[in-house]
């Protein structure tokens, strides 16, 4: 027999599970329903993080192309890896062919980066640039660092607010540094890159208007990116 409340209405009995999740006559409380996708996303993120953390160690090696135009890079470290590169300046063209207008008077002298490949980690970077021109650099360019794999998939793209080429006078050099967070990397082939798009929003994603650095073996004319270092992550 179902008991009555003081007003003569029938009391409904609910199981402990129904009371916990807030079920009443088959109705799900909206707050509980909308929480399920959040739980699913958290589970997927934890699964991906676990995949990058499995295994006791990883091996990172340089995979820069060899040749006189390749940057001079070296790598060190075991758990945290450090890549250091020096770059040669590409002199102004003296041929009859018109120069690529994307190539600026700003050259990269050195790149240092320390990072881990297991789980979320803090990337520490330092970049030294030099103004090879005879006048100050006038454009306000936004600089991004990126990590792409050899198939063109992007794994990191961060704005570097510390870098301002206008602060580098003619014939002078300047060093910028900072830190940023990054997820782990699975085994594969990757590259650190600088993306310096056109400040015009209509041209930002057109590689034909990206800024290229005046260095040998750095500028990728097809993608409009500046390749800092190529590396391989092995299990």
Digit-by-digit pLDDT tens for the chain (235 residues) are 555 555 555 444 544 434 443 434 444 434 433 343 333 333 333 434 444 444 446 899 998 554 546 789 999 998 899 999 999 998 765 434 445 678 999 999 999 999 999 989 999 999 999 999 999 998 889 999 999 999 999 999 999 999 999 999 999 999 999 999 999 999 999 999 999 999 999 999 999 999 999 999 999 989 999 999 999 999 7
Nearest Cα to Cα of residue 224 among 205, 207, 200, 199: 207
Give the count of domains, the chain.
2
6 falls within a domain: no
Whether residues 73 and 167 share a domain: the answer is yes
Residue 194 to residue 229: CA distance in whole angstroms: 10
Whether residues 195 and 95 share a domain: the answer is yes
**pTM across the whole model:** 0.72
Whether residues 48 and 72 share a domain: the answer is no
Q: What is the pLDDT of residue 71?
A: 84
Whether residues 144 and 161 share a domain: the answer is yes
Structural domain harbouring 186: 59-234
Q: What is the pLDDT of residue 92?
A: 65
Residue 115 to residue 58: CA distance in whole angstroms: 12
Token pair, residue 71, equals 């940057």
Residue 65 to residue 171: CA distance in whole angstroms: 29
196 within 8 A of 145, measured Cβ to Cβ: no
Q: DSSP string spanning 171-219?
A: T-EEEEEEEEEE----SEEEEEEEE---SSTTTTT-GGG--B-SBTTTE
57 within 8 A of 79, measured Cβ to Cβ: yes
CA 34 to chain CA centroid, Å, is 31
Whether residues 97 and 182 share a domain: the answer is yes
Burial (CB count within 10 angstroms: exposed 0-12, middle 13-18, buried 19+), residue 20: exposed
77 falls within a domain: yes
Residue 189 to residue 38: CA distance in whole angstroms: 32
Whether residues 40 and 141 share a domain: the answer is no
Whether residues 87 and 189 share a domain: the answer is yes
- Say whether 107 sits in a helix, a strand or coil: strand
Whether residues 64 and 107 share a domain: the answer is yes
Whether residues 77 and 135 share a domain: the answer is yes
Q: What is the pLDDT of residue 69?
A: 62
Q: What is the pLDDT of residue 97?
A: 41
H-state helical runs in the chain: 16-21, 30-53
Nearest Cα to Cα of residue 230 among 61, 109, 63, 73: 63
Q: What is the pLDDT of residue 6?
A: 52
Whether residues 126 and 45 share a domain: the answer is no
């Amino acid at each position: 027999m179902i008991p009555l409340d003081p007003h003569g209405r029938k009391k409904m009995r609910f199981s402990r599970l129904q009371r916990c999740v807030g079920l009443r006559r088959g109705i799900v409380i909206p707050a509980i329903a909308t929480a399920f996708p959040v739980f699913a996303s958290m589970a997927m993120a934890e699964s991906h993080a676990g995949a990058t953390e499995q295994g006791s160690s990883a091996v990172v090696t340089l995979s820069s192309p060899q040749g006189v135009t390749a940057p001079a890079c070296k790598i060190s470290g075991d758990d945290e890896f450090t890549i250091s590169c020096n770059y040669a300046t590409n002199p102004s063209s003296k041929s009859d062919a018109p120069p690529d207008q994307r190539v600026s008077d700003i050259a990269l002298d050195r790149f240092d980066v320390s990072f881990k490949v297991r789980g979320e980690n803090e990337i520490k970077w330092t970049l030294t640039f030099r103004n090879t021109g005879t006048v100050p650099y006038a454009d306000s360019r936004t600089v991004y660092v990126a990590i792409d794999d050899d198939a063109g998939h992007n794994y990191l793209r961060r704005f570097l607010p510390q870098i301002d080429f206008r602060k580098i006078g003619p014939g002078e050099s300047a060093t910028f540094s900072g830190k940023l967070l990054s997820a782990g990397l699975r085994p594969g082939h990757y590259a650190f890159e600088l993306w310096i798009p056109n400040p015009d929003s209509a041209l930002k994603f057109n590689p034909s208007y990206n800024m290229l650095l005046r260095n040998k073996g750095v500028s990728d004319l097809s993608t409009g990116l500046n390749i800092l270092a190529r590396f391989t992550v092995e299990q």
